[in-house]
């Protein structure tokens, strides 16, 4: 996991301040707030060079609110030699051209999820950045949750035994006003509904903990509670490549919204991950608990969660650029979740079981 950064970092050897890395932010919508708070926390290692939105009023308001300089254009950011990293927080439909611009200028890119609206477009963005020789990270910050890291370590140690079943629930709530924002929940702007916009974080963690899914059988649709183009409810049975079985329910129609959860039933123990908490119930009667409840943004306020996981992810990405290593969470590692979403929606449309496209050898998960 990327270390939490001391905001008074000094080099013990030289007594000089740690070298800071130039960062710019493009896209200042709802998702930008936790990133801005994280960047302010990381002032010891981050030199904020610019923020940009196509809306000049929003751009100046955001810059003033957080004390960051504003840029007049994305071309200005691309031309700034002091910018090493661009954080791209735009909706998915505004990504491809910006990625080409910044990658062509040699900027490393840290991008909000999803990678793009379709898997084909996502794969193209990943390939373009690899060809340009720049890092492309993806904001799957929940990999940095302490209880997720603890569960991964426990599973890797083998004590729970073989995995038998996985139960995943994302019972979230969104008001209709959320979907009344132009383009939200549409295929043209977002690439879909609850799966790609909300549940993708939990699907990524499920794959990280349980391994790839071989095939799925799903139903999906839009409930009477929302007017939107894409799905707000999905339920599915899953068969994992390792032989385990799974179930998934994901929705934004579960008023008032509850935190998501993942349960892994193994030979010797069941592991339950709630947001902030890992509970391990051993077959011998022992129960072990780590952490405590935390907000996840599953209710009416999508931003009702701590920014500490974003801070850890950004810290790791900045350090990876400085050290010349891959970041803990690459965009290529996000592609399996995209392929799983494709299979779930295809299965629902065909009303039959569907195989999940196989991962490429490069689509590996590294420890966060």
| Residue of 330, 352, 202 lying closest to 263 (CA atoms) | 202
Residue 190 placed within a domain: yes
28 in Cβ contact with 59 (< 8 Å): yes
Residue 167 placed within a domain: yes
Q: Residue 159 sits in which domain range?
A: 145-299+331-355
Please count the structural domains in the chain. 1
> What CATH number should be reported for the domain holding residue 186?
3.30.360.10
DSSP-derived letter for residue 199 is I
CA distances from 211 to 84, 94, 207, 316 (A): 34, 31, 5, 24
Residues 347-361 as b/e (b if ≥16 CB within 10 A, e otherwise) read bbeeeeebebeebee
Which residues of the chain, if any, have pLDDT below 50? 1-17, 361-368
279 in Cβ contact with 288 (< 8 Å): yes
Q: How would you write 4-44 as a 3-class SS string?
A: CCCCCCECCCCCCECCCEEEEEECCCCCHHHHHHHHHHCCC
Strand-pair category, 213-221 with 354-355: antiparallel
Residue 48 placed within a domain: no
- Give dist(CA 319, CA 296) in Å, integer: 26
Residue 79 placed within a domain: no
DSSP-derived letter for residue 219 is E
Whole-number pLDDT of residue 30: 86
In sign, the C-alpha dihedral spanning 69, 70, 76, 78 is positive
263 in Cβ contact with 271 (< 8 Å): yes
Residue 207 placed within a domain: yes
Residue 106 placed within a domain: no
Please give the model's pTM, rounded to 2 decimal places. 0.89
Helix residue ranges, H only, the chain: 32-41, 56-66, 74-79, 96-104, 119-132, 146-157, 176-179, 194, 200-210, 308-323, 331-350
| Residue of 150, 112, 141 lying closest to 306 (CA atoms) | 141
pLDDT tens for each residue of 284-294: 999 999 987 66
Whole-number pLDDT of residue 306: 84
Residue 133 placed within a domain: no
Whole-number pLDDT of residue 359: 64
Residue 15 placed within a domain: no
């Amino acid at each position: 996991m990327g270390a939490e950064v001391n905001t008074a970092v000094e080099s013990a050897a030289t007594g000089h301040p740690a070298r800071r890395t130039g960062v710019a932010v493009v896209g200042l919508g709802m998702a930008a707030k936790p990133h801005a708070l994280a960047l302010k926390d990381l002032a010891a290692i981050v030199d904020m060079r610019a923020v940009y939105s196509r809306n000049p009023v929003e751009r100046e308001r955001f810059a003033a609110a957080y004390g960051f300089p504003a840029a007049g254009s994305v071309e200005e950011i691309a031309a700034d030699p002091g910018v090493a990293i661009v954080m791209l927080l735009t909706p998915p439909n505004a990504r491809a051209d910006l990625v080409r611009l910044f990658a062509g200028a040699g900027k490393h890119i840290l991008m909000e999820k999803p990678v793009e609206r379709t898997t084909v477009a996502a794969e193209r963005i990943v390939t373009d950045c690899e060809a340009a020789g720049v890092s492309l990270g993806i904001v799957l910050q929940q990999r940095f949750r302490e209880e997720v890291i603890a569960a991964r370590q426990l599973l890797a140690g083998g004590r729970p035994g073989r995995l038998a079943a996985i139960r995943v629930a994302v019972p979230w709530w969104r008001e209709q006003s959320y979907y009344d924002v132009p383009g939200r929940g549409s295929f043209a702007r977002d690439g879909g509904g609850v799966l790609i916009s909300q549940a993708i974080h939990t699907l990524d963690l499920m794959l990280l903990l349980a391994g790839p899914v071989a095939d799925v059988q799903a139903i999906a649709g839009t409930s009477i509670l929302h007017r939107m183009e894409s799905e707000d409810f999905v339920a599915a049975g899953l068969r994992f490549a390792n032989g385990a079985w799974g179930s998934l329910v994901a929705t934004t129609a579960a008023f008032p919204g509850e935190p998501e959860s993942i349960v892994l039933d193994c030979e010797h123990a069941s592991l339950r991950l709630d947001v902030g908490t890992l509970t391990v119930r051993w077959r011998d009667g022992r129960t072990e608990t780590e952490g405590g409840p935390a907000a996840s943004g599953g209710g009416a306020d999508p931003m009702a969660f701590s920014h500490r996981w974003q801070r850890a992810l950004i810290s790791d990405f900045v350090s990876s650029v400085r050290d010349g290593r891959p970041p803990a969470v690459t965009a290529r590692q996000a592609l399996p979740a995209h392929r799983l979403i494709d299979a779930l929606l295809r299965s629902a449309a065909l009303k039959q079981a569907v195989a999940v496209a196989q991962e490429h050898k490069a689509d590996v998960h590294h420890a966060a």
